[in-house]
Amino acid sequence: MRVLMFGWEFPPHITGGLGTACYGMCRGLLAQGVEVIFTAPKLYGDEDQGVARMVSADQVEVDLRHPMYESWWKNLTYIQIGANLIPYVGLDDYFSLHNRSESGSWQSGEVSAKRKFTFSGQYKQNLMEEVERYAMVASTVASQQQFDVIHAHDWLTYMAGIAAKRVSGKPLVIHVHATEFDRTGENVNTRVFDIERRGMLAADRIITVSNYTRDIVIHRYGIPAEKVHTVYNAVEPSAGEPVAPAQPAVATRAKRGKAVPKRKIVTFLGRVTYQKGPEYFVEAARLILQRDPSVHFVMAGSGDMFNRIVERVAALQLGSHFHFAGFLKGPEVDRMFRMSDVYVMPSVSEPFGISPLEAMRSNVPVVISKQSGVSEILEHALKIDFWDVDAMADAIYGLLHYPPLSAMFRRYGAEEVNRLKWENAAKHLLQVYEMAVRDR
């Protein structure tokens, strides 16, 4: 089977878990004998060409005079969005509408030859313009490639998937990694919601990353349950040096011969935004430091709540116990986990959550919110409600101060996560593809 897959990013150039998941799926599908043609707005040439045949949308020549593009010229509307948008983050409150057809900057009559589009491949103010262009390029890609099924990841690619289906007549599978309700709570942006629902209605089958997300798709978007399938994510083996089991924090000897406790490190790694619950991490830290002032907290990531979190840490006078590491990726993530005694994911709404798997792969015990998809499959993780900072603090404190408890979660957690392989997830993906093809 051959799959035309539309993504928005691919390692090593990533801003979150979406690109990492796409890479894992391509590897897993390759092991199942499935050929993937992976398309992204902008590729850089250093992607792993061994897992998929790569197509960079900015290198595809498009004939905009072709009749299949006629509908684009009639009602071409773009939304200008704040530069801090990424697929899992809210759209903020400053949307502005730009009708390019009225301004004359995108009139089909002006196009006299084939052309290539420029893509940043990022999440900037012209994001919706790039989404629209990506769909146009997808039509050309679909007309040039041979494939059996289309696979589109998250709302940024749904229009591309729909366009490819329209041109080729092949079945469309969309993959829901997050919904607008995850990103913004109840402050849903109707334009993005409409794109999501349009993709869901056009799809022959829908894949969600957890039953948590599946329920949202069914009940909040009105999609028939029989159309929606849960396929859990997995984790790639560490690309770095072999991970030795981490040792519990022990006392070290100071210069004057007095024993002082080793500083214990508790890590938050993710986007510093509403969805990830960083404010609850700070409040739990405050409670822990009242009991043990030797603990150190690391917040690795960036996002629209970053300044607010820094101000809250300063107001609580916790600055000497906090380190803001910025955005980490690749080997930096593995290195951070190796330094950590506990990893915490206090997400308010997490469709899945790959980072706890990465931490467990590095022999780090984890505390995760019950409001996460990954909590459905993990047994050896401490689970709390994101809002219960007392329970969160107790769980972290227990892992830091009771070595047998920590050792148990390190040992069995590593064994558990090693069984969550992309090859197994790919078997389920292949089953969904086969159902979509059969239905046609």
pLDDT tens profile 152-179: 999 999 999 999 999 999 999 999 999 9
To the question of pTM greater than 0.85 for the whole model, the response is no
Place of tokens 């289309």: 150
Assign 258 to helix, strand or coil: coil
Q: Could you tell me the pLDDT band of residue 151, with boundaries at 50, 70 and 90?
A: very high
**DSSP annotation of 125:** T
| Whole-angstrom distance, CA of residue 365 vs CA of residue 161 | 39
Of 71-75, 173-177, 274-278, 358-362, the range with the lowest mean pLDDT is: 71-75
C-alpha dist (Å) from residue 315 to 80, 211, 286, 311, 388: 35, 39, 11, 6, 21
- Is residue 232 within 8 A of residue 208, CB to CB? The reply is no
DSSP 301-315: ---TTHHHHHHHHHH
Q: What is the CA radius of gyration of the chain?
A: 23
| Whole-angstrom distance, CA of residue 137 vs CA of residue 142 | 9
pLDDT surpassing 60 at residue 305? yes
pLDDT surpassing 90 at residue 243? no
Identify the structural domains of the chain with CATH numbers, from first to last: 2-234+422-439 (3.40.50.2000), 251-418 (3.40.50.2000)
pLDDT surpassing 70 at residue 110? no
Of 254-258, 280-284, 333-337, the range with the lowest mean pLDDT is: 254-258
Place of tokens 């200008």: 80
Q: Could you tell me the pLDDT band of residue 261, with boundaries at 50, 70 and 90?
A: low
Q: How many residues are given for the chain?
A: 440
pLDDT surpassing 80 at residue 302? yes
Q: Could you tell me the pLDDT band of residue 10, with boundaries at 50, 70 and 90?
A: very high
Of 414, 49, 8, nearest in space to 235 by CA: 414
Average pLDDT over residues 100-106: 39
pLDDT for res 88 = 39
Q: Could you tell me the pLDDT band of residue 74, with boundaries at 50, 70 and 90?
A: low
Retrieve residue 144's tokens. Answer: 């040039």
Percentage of the chain with pLDDT > 70? 83
| Whole-angstrom distance, CA of residue 420 vs CA of residue 179 | 24
pLDDT surpassing 60 at residue 100? no
DSSP 383-409: EE-TT-HHHHHHHHHHHHH-HHHHHHH
Q: How far apart are the first and last CA of the chain?
A: 15
Between 134 and 251, the higher pLDDT residue: 134
Average pLDDT over residues 371-380: 95
Average pLDDT over residues 227-244: 75
pLDDT surpassing 80 at residue 23? yes
- φ/ψ bin of 277: left (φ > 0), alpha (ψ from -120 to 50), beta (otherwise): left
- Is residue 191 within 8 A of residue 79, CB to CB? The reply is yes
Query: Residue 226 contacts by C-beta under 8 Å, 6 or more apart in sequence?
Result: none
| Whole-angstrom distance, CA of residue 309 vs CA of residue 321 | 14
Q: Could you tell me the pLDDT band of residue 94, with boundaries at 50, 70 and 90?
A: very low
pLDDT for res 223 = 97
